């Protein structure tokens, strides 16, 4: 069954280094208007790698931490982020016990709405 989640960003920080830029993002996650998780995301821009040939992109990893268990159940998303639109595409690369059925499923994040669709 596909998951439809809404991200609400609470933090966004850029950190530059000689090779590129890291962008760290965090916030909360709702499903059907209920706060179900929090997320942490990092994007990596590599100079002369992800910023050439009209690509304004970065590799992205996002971990969703579901509320309730300690340590929390989680889903890890990996893929590509487009800075022009804010859109992302990729797949689920790892997940904890309750979420393991999502491993390998595609995901998208729509920048305009911050909706994340898994599956």
List, for residues 73-100, the tens digit of each pLDDT value.
Answer: 999 999 999 999 999 999 999 999 999 9
CB-neighbour burial class of residue 34 (10 A; exposed 0-12, middle 13-18, buried 19+)? exposed
> What's the token pair of residue 56?
């304004």
pLDDT, residue 70, reads 96
Among 85, 82, 83, 37, which residue's Cα sits nearest to residue 63? 37
Domain containing residue 99: 3-118
Arithmetic mean of pLDDT over the chain: 96
**Rounded-to-10 torsion of CA 59, 65, 66, 67:** -150
Among 63, 109, 64, which residue's Cα sits nearest to residue 85? 109
Looking at the structure of the chain, the number of domains it has is 1
pTM summary value: 0.95
């Amino acid at each position: 069954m596909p998951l439809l989640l809404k991200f609400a960003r609470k933090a966004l920080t850029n950190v530059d280094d000689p090779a590129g830029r890291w962008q760290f993002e965090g916030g909360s996650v709702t499903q059907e208007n209920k706060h179900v998780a929090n997320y942490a995301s990092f994007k990596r821009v590599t100079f002369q790698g992800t910023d050439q040939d009209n690509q304004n992109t970065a590799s992205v990893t996002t971990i969703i931490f579901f509320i309730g268990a300690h340590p929390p159940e989680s889903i890890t998303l990996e893929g590509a982020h487009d800075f022009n639109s804010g859109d992302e595409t990729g797949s689920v690369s790892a997940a904890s016990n309750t979420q393991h059925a999502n491993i390998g499923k595609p995901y998208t994040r729509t920048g305009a709405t911050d909706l994340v669709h898994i599956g």
